[in-house]
Structure 1
C-alpha cells in the first residue's frame, strides 16, 4: 500500500509543479507612459511639436460655409453641406452603421461642385488655402463674403491592443496620436508602448511606416505626433500576451494530463 501511495505521489508531483508554473504570471513591464519624466522635483519643459496643416485629398468631405450681410443670399451654398454616408463603424462604439458627415465631397479629379461658385479644384490644398480659393470665387458674386472651410471626415484607424479598435472621425484636424489612443479607450495591459506602428498614407497612395515610443516624452516633439487623414495606428501585443496565449493552450494540456493521471491512479488502486 505504501509503495502504491509513493508511486501515485511521483505521478502527481510533476503535474503539480507544471501547473503552478503555468498559472503563475509575472508582472508586465513598460506599461507606464513617458517614463523619462520624473515623478517629482524639477520637471523638464517639452518642446512643441511642429503642426503641419493636412492637405485635402480625394474622397475627403469638406464643410464649406459662405457668410454675407444677407444670410438668404448664400442659402443654396450652405445648404449644400448635405449628409454623406461613410462606411465607418468603430468596433465597440455601438454604431450600427456608417457615420454621417455633412459637407461637399472631393471627387476623383480633386474638385468640389459648389452651387453658384461652380467647379473648384481643392485637392492638395490646406483648408486655409482652400478658404482663399473659394473666397476669391465667392467675391465674384457677393460683396465682402466670409468663407469657412473645415474637414468633415478627418478619419484615422486604431487597431491592435486597444480597448476599442476601429476607424474614428475627428472634428478637429489638429488631432494627436495621444488623442487617437484616448478615443480608442487606451492601450490594454498587453500593448507594446515602446514600439507603436504608425502607417501614413501619402498623396500618391504610397505608405510610410514609422515606429514611435510612448515610453519617451520625445514623442510629443515628433513630426508624427499630429495625425493626418487615413493614418493607421497599430499596437502590437507584447511578450506577456504571447505567453498568456501559449499558457492558455498549455493549461488545457495540463488539465488533460491531470485527468489521465487520476485515471491511472484509480486503475492502480483497483488492481
Structure 2
C-alpha cells in the first residue's frame, strides 16, 4: 500500500495546473497604455463577397453603377410564391478583381476597405459629382477549433473582431486548453502563415494577430493533462477525483494505525 501512495500522490499533483498556465493578461499592469489604439482594417481577399452600393444626389445617375436587383421566388407552408428583391453582390475572383458596372474589371485584393472606397470614389467621380459609396464584406467568418467549449465557424457582423472576442464566441477555452500557444492560420494572397499567440502574456494585445482577418482559423492545442488523460479514457477527471479521495483515506488509515 505504501508503494501506491507515491503513485497516487504524483497523479494528483500532475493534474494541478499552475496560475501561469491558466490566467490571461499576465503582466498587463506593467504595460504602458497607448495614447491611441492602432487602427486596424482588414484587406480584401479572393472569395470575399462584397456588397457595394453607389448613391448620389440624383438617384437616377447612380443606377448604372449598381448591380440590378433580381426577384427570388420562395415557398413555405404551401403558401404562394412571394417575390423578394435581392441585391446582387460582387465576388472577388482568384485574381483579386471584381467586375464593376461601367468601370469594368477592378483590382481590390490586398486593399483595405478605405483604400477600395477611395479608389472607387476617384473612378466614379469622373461620372458623378461627390458619389456616396457603401461597401461591406458579407461573408466575413472565422473558425475556432480545439479545446474550446463550442468549436465551430462563426459569421461576423462587423468587419473587425479580436482573438479574445472569437474565443468568447466559442465559449472560451476549456481548462485543458493550452493558453500560451494558440495557433492562428491566416491566408493572404494565396499564401498561408502559421502564427502562435500567448494570451497569458498581456503583450499579445499589441500583436498583429490580436485582430483576426476574414477566414482565419484559430486552433487551441490541448495541454499535457488532456493528452495524457486521453490514454486513460474519457473518465480521467473522475479517476483523479477518486485518486485524491483515496490518498486522503489511506493517509487517515496509516495515521490511525500508528
Residue 28 (1) aligns with residue 13 (2): no
Equivalent of 1:139 in 125, 144, 150:
125
Give secondary structure in 2 for the equivalent of 1:197: strand
- Measured in 1, the distance between the counterparts of 2:100 and 2:151 equals 36
Shift of 1:217: 0.6
User: 2:151 aligns to what?
Assistant: 165
Q: Does 1:148 align with 2:137?
A: no
- Greater strand percent: which structure? 2
1:59 matched to 2:47: yes
Distance 2:17 2:139 in 1: 37
Equivalent residues, number? 219
RMSD between superposed Cα atoms in Å: 3.5
How far apart are the structure 2 equivalents of 1:71 and 1:249? 64
Alignment of 1:1-271 (within 5 A): 26-29=15-18, 30-37=21-28, 44-47=31-34, 50-75=38-63, 77-78=65-66, 80=68, 103-203=89-189, 205-248=190-233
Q: Which residue of structure 2 lines up, in the alignment, with residue 262 of structure 1?
A: none
Structure 1 residue 32, shift from structure 2 partner: 1.6
Unaligned runs of at least 5 residues, structure 1: 1-9, 83-100, 255-271
* Structure 1 residue 187: Cα displacement: 0.8
Unaligned runs of 5+ in 2: 71-86, 240-258
Q: 1:202 to 1:115 in 2, by over 3 A?
A: closer
Q: What is the CA-CA distance between 1:14 and the residue it aligns to?
A: 8.8
